[in-house]
């Protein structure tokens, strides 16, 4: 496996946002600024126990993208965790040093949008809060819908009280006043021209939004997943061959092998991180029309000329890449 360059950060502060969510503020160990980022970006956190997980940056600042004083991430303790959230909740303490990646953004705001509709479910608030802050700062037209079980389960509640967000915020609480709840099908029934939809949250919430917005154009719907859906197959399939156009060679990919693994076997270095088609680290230029796309990070238009190699395969016997 190939990893991107890592940074070392200090855990400056840990605060409890909800019974299940902790916020971690990360700073440079010597007080320097950290690499800047655009709203929607995430980092990989390499944590005790050998785990590496992706977490969205939950706060945007006017200094971005040139530099940032600190990063803030939210981590929900998951009962069915593969170990990452448990490690962050149980083993990481204030003052600890952590290795992280530089910020990476596969979930950016679209400059061409006339109106931005942000739908945040639970911990999915993290990238969308930064987006809302950035949009408010530039005076953009947007609506920020936040879905949570109750006030007690509302993460980053203090940030939501910002007066700059108030005119744009709609809050849906499952246990709140029925008159304030948001009907997804009604909300998404009609798409105003130029509106782009951004959604992040747990699996059930993502499915509900996708179903309600099934009639929206692919390039107007942008999603960030925490994990690949339960029925997703991101590893196996029929064998095929990778044609590397710039090298003039062909690399076979076995039925139980990913394209990334096949390339690594012949000494071609492709950076990877999530290995579920979520983070975009392994995306390369290629014949997207000939790919069986299994990722959750590329838009419809991007899939015409890009491929996520950790999970996608060939529709036929060969897939051409610009490598």
CATH of the domain at 149: 3.40.50.80
Give yes or no: residues 216 and 187 share one domain.
Answer: yes
Give yes or no: residues 85 and 152 share one domain.
Answer: no
Give yes or no: residues 200 and 255 share one domain.
Answer: no
What local confidence, expressed as pLDDT, does residue 78 receive?
Answer: 75
Cα separations in angstroms, 161 against 58, 157, 165, 238, 264: 15, 7, 7, 52, 48
What local confidence, expressed as pLDDT, does residue 210 receive?
Answer: 92
Cα separations in angstroms, 123 against 22, 75, 159, 218: 10, 8, 14, 24
What local confidence, expressed as pLDDT, does residue 86 receive?
Answer: 78
CATH of the domain at 96: 2.40.30.10
CB atoms near residue 3 (< 10 Å) = 14
Give yes or no: residues 81 and 128 share one domain.
Answer: no
CATH of the domain at 244: 3.10.20.30
Give yes or no: residues 174 and 207 share one domain.
Answer: yes
Q: Is residue 206 part of a domain?
A: yes
Give yes or no: residues 158 and 209 share one domain.
Answer: yes
Cα separations in angstroms, 301 against 161, 217, 222, 231, 274: 37, 11, 12, 24, 22
What local confidence, expressed as pLDDT, does residue 3 receive?
Answer: 45
Taking the C-alpha atoms of residue 125 and residue 76, their distance in angstroms, rounded to an integer, is 11
282, 260 contact by CB (below 8 A): yes
- Taking 70 as the pLDDT cut, the residues of the chain under it are 1-4, 48-51, 62-66, 79-84, 228-234
Give yes or no: residues 149 and 182 share one domain.
Answer: yes
What local confidence, expressed as pLDDT, does residue 6 receive?
Answer: 85
Domain-ending residue, one of 224, 259, 276: 224
Number of domains in the chain: 3
What local confidence, expressed as pLDDT, does residue 230 receive?
Answer: 65
73, 59 contact by CB (below 8 A): no
Give yes or no: residues 84 and 36 share one domain.
Answer: yes
- Using CB atoms within 10 A of its CB, is residue 47 exposed (0-12), middle (13-18) or buried (19+)? buried
Q: What is the pTM of this model?
A: 0.83
Taking the C-alpha atoms of residue 163 and residue 39, their distance in angstroms, rounded to an integer, is 19
Q: Is residue 20 part of a domain?
A: yes
169-173 sheet: strands from edge to edge: 169-173, 142-148, 115-121, 195-200, 221-224
Domain-ending residue, one of 57, 75, 101: 101
CB-based contacts of 35: which residues, under 8 Å, 6+ apart?
7, 67, 68, 102, 103
Determine phi and psi for 290, rounding to 5 degrees. Answer: -95, 5
DSSP string, 245-291: TTTTEEEEE-TT--HHHHHHHTT---B-SSSSSSS-TTEEEB-GGGE
Q: Is residue 13 part of a domain?
A: yes
Two tokens at 1? 């496996």
Q: Is residue 109 part of a domain?
A: no
What local confidence, expressed as pLDDT, does residue 297 receive?
Answer: 84
Domain-ending residue, one of 224, 251, 272: 224
Give yes or no: residues 124 and 215 share one domain.
Answer: yes
Taking the C-alpha atoms of residue 275 and residue 282, their distance in angstroms, rounded to an integer, is 8
Q: Is residue 63 part of a domain?
A: yes
pLDDT in tens, 217-231: 988 999 998 776 666
Taking the C-alpha atoms of residue 300 and residue 260, their distance in angstroms, rounded to an integer, is 22
Q: Which domain holds residue 284?
A: 240-321
CB atoms near residue 114 (< 10 Å) = 12
122, 28 contact by CB (below 8 A): no
Give yes or no: residues 121 and 215 share one domain.
Answer: yes
What local confidence, expressed as pLDDT, does residue 64 receive?
Answer: 62
Largest Cα–Cα separation, the chain: 63
What local confidence, expressed as pLDDT, does residue 236 receive?
Answer: 79
What local confidence, expressed as pLDDT, does residue 2 receive?
Answer: 42
Give yes or no: residues 120 and 220 share one domain.
Answer: yes
Give yes or no: residues 201 and 248 share one domain.
Answer: no
């Amino acid at each position: 496996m190939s990893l991107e360059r890592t940074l070392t950060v200090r855990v400056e502060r840990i605060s409890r946002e909800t019974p299940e969510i902790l916020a971690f503020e990360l700073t440079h160990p010597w007080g320097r600024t950290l690499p800047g980022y655009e709203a929607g970006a995430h980092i990989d956190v390499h944590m005790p126990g050998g785990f590496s997980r992706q977490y969205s940056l939950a706060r945007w600042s006017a200094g971005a993208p040139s530099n940032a004083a600190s990063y803030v991430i939210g981590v929900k303790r998951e009962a069915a965790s593969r170990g990452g959230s448990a490690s962050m909740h149980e083993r990481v303490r204030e003052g600890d040093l952590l290795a992280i990646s530089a910020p990476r953004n596969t979930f950016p705001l679209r400059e061409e949008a006339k109106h931005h509709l942000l739908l945040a479910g639970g911990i999915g608030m993290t990238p969308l809060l930064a987006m809302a802050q950035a949009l408010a700062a530039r005076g953009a037209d947007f609506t920020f819908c936040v879905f949570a079980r109750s006030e007690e389960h509302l993460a980053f509640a203090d940030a939501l009280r910002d007066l700059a967000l108030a005119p744009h915020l709609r809050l849906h609480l499952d246990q709140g006043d029925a008159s304030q709840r948001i009907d997804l099908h009604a909300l998404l029934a009609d798409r105003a021209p130029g509106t782009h939809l951004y959604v992040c949250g747990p699996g059930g919430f993502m499915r509900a939004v996708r179903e309600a917005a099934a009639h929206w154009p692919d390039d107007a719907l942008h999603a960030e997943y925490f994990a690949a859906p339960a029925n997703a197959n991101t590893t196996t399939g029929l064998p095929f061959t990778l044609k590397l156009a710039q090298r003039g060679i062909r690399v076979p990919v076995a039925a139980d092998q990913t394209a990334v693994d096949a390339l690594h076997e012949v000494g071609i270095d492709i950076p990877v991180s999530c290995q579920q088609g979520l983070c975009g680290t392994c995306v390369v230029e290629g014949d997207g029309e000939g790919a069986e796309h299994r990722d959750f990070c590329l838009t419809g238009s991007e899939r015409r000329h890009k491929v996520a190699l950790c999970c996608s395969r060939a529709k036929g016997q060969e897939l051409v890449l610009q490598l």
